[in-house]
Structure 1
C-alpha cells in the first residue's frame, strides 16, 4: 500500500495534479488492497500534497479501520458530510487545489460534493494517474494473473469433457461455475453461445440446446485472489458447420498478427490495425464487431483499450487481451482470446490452452 501510494503521489506531481479523489471501487482496491462498503453515503479517499485521508461515514469507519491506518474524518447521518469533508481537504492540503482528478467510476453526487468545495478547480479523471499506474503490472500481479488463468483453463477443460448434444448453454455454464468454485474461485461471467447465438459477441447464456454441428463460443472468467481471468475458446459439437475451418483460420491469423504488432512503445491502435487488417483482407471486415482487446487486472475491463483510435502507448508490464472475432449472422461466431503480459521482447501468453477448435460430444 505504502509503495503504491508513494508512486501515485509521484505521478500526481508529474502530471500537475493537486488533489485526487477516489470512491469505493477498483481504483481504491488497487491502491489500498481494500475498499470500504459502498452505498449512498459519501465516502472518499483524498490524496494531496500533505498525504492521504478518508472522508468516512461513521457507520463504516470501524470496519474500514481494520484494513487501513490512514486517518479518517468521520461524519454521521445527523451531521452530514460537509464539515468532515472540509477537515479532510485541510488534512491533505487540498483546500486550494487548482487541479482535481476524480475517480471516473465514483457516484456523481460524491464528485459534485467535492467540487462544490473547490470552486474554480479544473477537473480531470484518473486515467493519467491511478489508471496509468494500474496498466503496468508488477511481478506479484503477473504471478497472480497467471494463477487465475490456470483456473480458467481448468474450467474449460472440465466443460469440454462433459459437453454433449442435448445439454443447454446454461448447463455448460453451470459446469464451468462449479469448476471455478472447486478451485476456490468465483466465476464472474460465463458466455456460452451455441450455433447462431455465437454470432452475438456478448450473448446472454440461456436455454438453447447444443446440437450436432454447432460451433460454440466459450468466453469465461473468474477471480480467486483479487485479480481476474478472461479467455475465449471454441468448441464444436461433433462435425463443424460448413465454412467453419476457413473462418477459424482467419481469426487465428488475426491473433498472430496482433501478437506480432504488440511491442512496448507501440500505440494500442497499431495492434488493433494488425488484427483488423487480416480480417478485412479476408473479406470479413464487416463481421468484426468490436475492439481487438482490453486491459485486465483488478477489473475484467480496464486500460489499455486496443481500439482503432487509441493513442495509448503500450508499456512493458501491460496486461491485455487480444481477441479478434468474426460473427456471421444466423450461422456462427468465432472469437479467440488470449490474455498477454507485455515484455520487452513482446507478448507472453498467460493461458496454456491451444487455440485449436475443441471437438466435444463424442
Structure 2
C-alpha cells in the first residue's frame, strides 16, 4: 500500500479516478473514503532508507548553495541579486533545475519579517544577512537557513544570534524517539523566552520534510505526537526584532534510534564575512 500511494499521490495529495480504480483493483475487499489525507499523512511520517538518502542529497545541495550565497555578499548588492546567483550556480554547477521554494535572502531589518521574499534592498556593512533555501533532489526537498554577519556585528546582534544557536542546538540534542512534538518545541522556546526574546519567536519550531517542503508532522505547541525513528522534519527557531534584525538557524533531519541526524552541515558558529566593495 505504501508503494502504491507513494507513487500515485502528488504534491496536492489528490487521487484521480483512474488511480482510484487501480487501488480498488489491488484491494477489492477494502472500503474507501473521499478524504485520504489522514491516511497519507500517517504513511508519509516515516521515511525509508532510500528516501533518507535522497533527502541527504538535497541537503548537500543546500550546503553548496550557502557557500555561493556567502561569497556573493558585498556592499550594495541586492537581496535579489544574491538569490539569483545562488539559483544560477546551482543549475550550472550542480544541475539543480528546481528549488523547493523561492530562495530567500534578507539583509538587515528585512530579516525581521520571516515571510518576506528577496527584494531590491541592498546589503550594507555590519548587518546580519539571513538565507533560507532548498532544492529538489530526485523528487525530495531540502530546506535550511543560516544567518551570517557582514562586517563586525554589534553586541546585540551577537546576543540574539547566540541565543538562537543555543536553542537550535538544544532542540537537535533533545530530538529522539519518545519526546513529543510539543515538548521538542518547548526545548527551544524556553531558552529563547528565558533570554527575554520569547515574543520574537513567532512561528512553530519545525515542519515535516519529504517529497514536499512542508509535510506532517508539525513541531508545535499543542501537538502531542510522540516522535519515532524515521520521522523527518526541520528544527528552525527564530528571533525577529522589528526594525532591527532577524536570526534563524534551520536544519532538516531524521530521528534515529539514538537521536537526530541533520541533512545539512554548514557550520553554525556565527560567520563574520569581511567587507567587500
Note if 1:137 corresponds to 2:47.
Answer: yes
- The CA RMSD measured in Å over matched residues stands at 2.5
The residue aligned with 1:184 is 95
TM-score by length of 2: 0.90
Does residue 289 of structure 1 match 2:275? no
Residues 248 and 334 of structure 1 are in contact (CA less than 8 Å); yes or no, is this contact kept in structure 2?
yes
Change over 3 Å in CA distance of 1:7–1:230 after alignment to 2? closer
Match 1:224 to one of 104, 128, 137: 137
The corresponding residue for 1:148 is 58
Deviation at 1:100, TM superposition (A): 1.6
**Uncovered stretches (5+) of structure 2, i.e. residues with no partner:** none
Match of 2:20 in 1: 46
Secondary structure at the aligned position of 1:143 is classed as helix
1:172 aligns with 2:82: yes
Q: Residues 161 and 25 from structure 1, CA distance in 2 versus in 1: closer, same or farther, beyond 3 angstroms?
A: closer
Q: 1:44 to 1:328 in 2, by over 3 A?
A: farther
Distance 1:6 1:299 in 2: 15
Residue in structure 1 matched with residue 234 of structure 2 by the alignment: 321
SS in 1 for 2:135: strand
Q: Is residue 5 from structure 1 mapped to residue 4 from structure 2 by the alignment?
A: yes
- The answer to whether the 8 Å contact 2:66/2:266 transfers is no
- Given that 2:11 and 2:212 are in contact with CA atoms closer than 8 Å, whether structure 1 keeps it comes out as no
Distance verdict in 2 for CA 1:5–1:218, change over 3 Å: same
Deviations 1:79-102 (A, max 9, x none): xxxxxxxxxxxx9557xx5x6251
Q: Which ranges of structure 1 fall in alignment gaps of 5 or more residues? A: 9-21, 29-34, 36-41, 54-69, 72-90, 104-125
Kept after mapping to 1: 8 A contact 2:11/2:211:
no
Match of residue 342 from structure 1: 255
CA distance in 1, matches of 2:12, 2:47: 15
- Structure with larger RCO (C-alpha < 8 A, sep 6+): 2
1:161 aligns with 71
Say whether the 8 Å CA contact 1:158–1:179 is kept in structure 2: yes
Change (3 A) 1:157 1:273: same
Cα contact 2:2–2:43 (8 A) shared by 1: no
Counterparts of 1:205 and 1:337 in 2: how far apart (Å)?
18
Query: Partner of 1:232: helix, strand, or coil?
Result: strand
Q: Secondary structure at the match of 2:233?
A: strand
Report Cα offsets for 1:285-307 as digits up to 9, x if no partner.
00000000001000000011100
Q: Deviations over 1:49-108 (max 9, x none)?
A: xx615xxxxxxxxxxxxxxxx89xxxxxxxxxxxxxxxxxxx9557xx5x62514xxxxx
Select the structure of larger CA radius of gyration.
1
Alignment correspondent of 2:35:
102
TM-aligned CA deviation for residue 257 of structure 1: 1.9
Whole-Å separation in 1 of the counterparts to 2:177 and 2:2 = 24
In 2, Cα distance between the equivalents of 1:238 and 1:329? Answer: 21
Alpha carbons of structure 1 residues 239 and 167: separation in structure 2 relative to 1, 3 Å? same
Alignment of 1:202 with 2:121, yes or no, is no
SS state at 1:45 partner: helix
Counterpart in the other structure of 2:218 = 305
Shift of 1:316: 0.3
Q: Which has the higher strand share?
A: 1
Number of aligned residue pairs: 272
Query: Over residues 6-34 of structure 1, what are the superposed CA-to-partner deviations in whole Å (9 max), with x where a residue is unaligned?
Result: 999xxxxxxxxxxxxx8753546xxxxxx
Question: Given the alignment, which residue of 25, 33, 36 partners 2:11?
Answer: 25
1:315 and 1:160 map into 2 onto residues whose CA distance is: 35
Provide the secondary structure at the position in 2 that maps to 1:189. Answer: coil
In the TM superposition, residue 278 of structure 1 has moved relative to its aligned partner by 0.4
Q: How is 1:56-135 mapped onto 2 (pairs within 5 angstroms)? A: 92=28, 97=31, 100=33, 102-103=35-36, 126-127=37-38, 129-135=39-45
Check the 8 A contact 1:234/1:356 in 2, yes or no: no
Deviation above 6 Å: which 4+ runs of structure 1? Answer: none
